[in-house]
Structure 1
Amino acid sequence: MSSYTAHFKVWRGDADGGGLADYQVEVNDGEVVLDIIHRLQATQAADLAVRWNCKAGKCGSCSAEVNGRPRLMCMTRMSVFSREETVTVTPMRTFPVIRDLVTDVSFNYTKAREVPAFVPPQGVAAGEYRMAQQDVERSQEFRKCIECFLCQNTCHVVRDHDENKPAFSGPRFLMRVAELDMHPLDAAAEAGLDRAASAQDEHGLGYCNITKCCTEVCPEGIHITDNALIPLKERAVDRKYDPLVWLGSKIRRRGQ
């Protein structure tokens, strides 16, 4: 097994400020950035704070920015960088720093609680749910989300404009609204909840300008923009501005 010495710059600090610290650290074949961060903890920076858990790209814990790109450290192989390249590791920029590479992502949990849950259909027991396979496959893509919040971090609506956070849920949770809105068994409409309208009025769907930056950083390869956000935008616009859709909703409402 061959090894070499790499130059790392790692952000050190807390909510009051900090900066990049330089390290020379050994790298072995097949290692990922998280391996190097662990080696730094073991050999040079025992107090370096980093959040991680599974080291298999499934828990979403080790999100950070590596050379300016939001990534999972456990899924970023050192082989993608040249041996002469300086590797810079910084915390996710969109969320407040707690210490070193650990950020406060509680914003996302607040937004998650604001999305109304699945509404079971009336008169159908849970074991009796039936769906067409194409509907299963459509929503299954969104359920691959590991909540690493890289899409939230890279979305410039919140990344560059902190004032938008109260009104904008971000791509991860707009995707959740879209998943529920297209679910054939969700009875939200019967309960008086229009999910597409809610996405527009309560979750800030109109702020999204479909740059696809969220899709580009998703480690699960979910087509967030094309398969969730754009269709949700189309449904929201139809229900609000299409006169035939508007008239149909009035007729249905009158018949209830």
Structure 2
Amino acid sequence: MSYESEFRIWRGEGGEGGFTSYRVEVEEGEVVLDLVHRLQATQAPDLAVRWNCKAGKCGSCSAEVNGRPRLLCMTRMSTLPAGEPVVLTPLRAFPSVRDLVTDVSFNYAKAREVASFAAPAGLAPGEYRMRQEDVERPQEFRKCIECFLCQDTCHAVRDHEENKAAFAGPRFLMRVAELDLHPLDAAAEQGLDRRDAAKEEHGLGYCNITKCCTEVCPEHIRITDNALIPLKERVADRRYDPLVWLGAKIGLRPRD
């Protein structure tokens, strides 16, 4: 059964603009991106929006629906309040390019700041061996599709532009946590302390574990509980637990 819905979409360039209202026919089972495409085809051919796979796996169609960061292709119209306008805005944490498209280059800059996996000496690719439990521990984090919804909803990024230089955001602190858990990562042997880097270079202390990043993750990754809080605990142990400090002094391997 079809019905008509009102869409209020932010239109503009470079942060300057306003809302434009449209009336559009909705078919049963459609998602918000379907309606955006219909508007492009019938009323607003110049409406700018990013999308690619339309299957919730590329992260391209990130925007805000009624003020909440979402993937347009995974937001069913049936889940939105009936009889109320659907309000679409670009990700507010990042500079506006045009309409629903934002400049997310901040995230790619932060990705380059996280040191990649450090291969262990004496092992060639294909010779790595790990226990299954060590494979499973960080597996959840590898489901990330880099939609950057967690980055957008994090108030340390969204509400405080001055934090961006020092704070990597939840997506990339999760990457640090994943590498810190990797039993074959040889960063320490190569002079890189990932836990110190998390605190000093990537701004782990800016996170106050409100769990807003977890709430918007379309892959249902428990970013706060399984990545950020344990990483904070390991950093705190390293710096403030006297037994861990003493063990490090006499050469004992710290417990993860």
Q: CA deviation at 1:222?
A: 0.3
The AA in structure 2 aligned to 1:177 is: V
Deviations 1:29-78 (A, max 9, x none): 11000000000100000000000000000000000000010000000000
Distance in 2 separating the partners of 1:102 and 1:153: 13
2:137 paired with 1:167: no
Aligned-partner Cα distance in 1 for 2:46–2:2 = 25
Paired residues, number: 252
Q: What is the deviation of 1:155?
A: 0.1
Q: Is the 8 A contact 2:15 2:97 kept in 1?
A: no
Q: 8 Å contact 2:15–2:95 — kept in the other structure?
A: no
Contact persistence 1:169–1:204 (CA under 8 A): yes
Q: Does residue 1:94 correspond to 2:93, yes or no?
A: yes
1:231: which partner in 2? 230
Alignment of 1:105-120 (within 5 A): 105-120=104-119
**The 10-residue stretch of structure 1 (11-20 or 207-216) with the greater mean CA deviation from structure 2:** 11-20
Distance in 2 separating the partners of 1:165 and 1:247:
35
Structure 2: runs of 5+ lacking an equivalent: none
Unaligned 5+ segments in structure 1 are none
2:32 aligned residue: 33
RMSD over aligned CA atoms reads 1.0
1:128 alignment counterpart: 127
TM superposition shift of 1:121: 0.9
State the SS of the aligned residue for 2:111. Answer: helix
Deviation at 1:16, TM superposition (A): 4.6
Partner residue in 2 for 1:147: 146
Are the counterparts in 1 of residues 58 and 145 from structure 2 also a CA contact under 8 Å?
Answer: yes
Give the structure-2-normalised TM-score: 0.96
User: How big is each residue's C-alpha offset from its partner over 1:120-157, in whole Å with a ceiling of 9 and x where there is no partner?
Assistant: 11112221211111111111100000000000000000
Residue 12 (structure 2) pairs with residue 9 (structure 1): no
Q: Deviations over 1:91-140 (max 9, x none)?
A: 00000000000000000000000000100111122212111111111111
- Partners in 2 of 1:189 and 1:82 — Cα distance? 51
User: Is this contact kept in 2: 1:197–1:240, CA < 8 A?
Assistant: no
Distance (Å, rounded) in 1 between the aligned partners of 2:125 and 2:32? 44
Partner of 2:192: 193
Contact in 2 for aligned 1:4/1:83 (Cα 8 Å): no
Determine helix, strand or coil for the equivalent of 1:232: helix
1:35–1:74 contact (8 Å) kept in structure 2 = yes
- 1:73 and 2:63 aligned: no
Residues 184-223 of structure 1 correspond to what in structure 2 (within 5 A)? 184-223=183-222
CA distance in 1, matches of 2:194, 2:82: 50
TM-score, normalising length from structure 1? 0.96
Identity of aligned residues (%): 75
**Shift in alpha-carbon separation, 1:181–1:16, aligned structure 2, 3 A:** closer
- For the residue of structure 2 that corresponds to 1:152, the secondary structure is helix
Q: Secondary structure at the match of 1:12?
A: strand
Deviation per CA, 1:191-235, whole angstroms, max 9, x where unpaired? 121101110000000000000000000000000000000000001
SS of residue matched to 1:126: coil
Deviation (angstroms), 1:250: 2.4
Are the aligned partners of 1:215 and 1:222 in contact in 2 as well (CA < 8 Å)? yes
Judged with a 3 Å threshold, the aligned counterparts in structure 2 of structure 1 residues 125 and 16 are, in CA distance, closer, same or farther, namely closer
Residue in structure 2 matched with residue 181 of structure 1 by the alignment: 180
- List 4+ stretches of structure 1 deviating above 4 A: none
Tell me the distance in 1 between the aligned counterparts of 2:133 and 2:207.
Answer: 27
Q: 1:180 to 1:16 in 2, by over 3 A?
A: closer
Per the alignment, residue 53 of structure 1 pairs with 52
Q: Aligned letter for 1:227?
A: N
Q: 2-side partners of 1:128 and 1:142: how far apart? A: 23
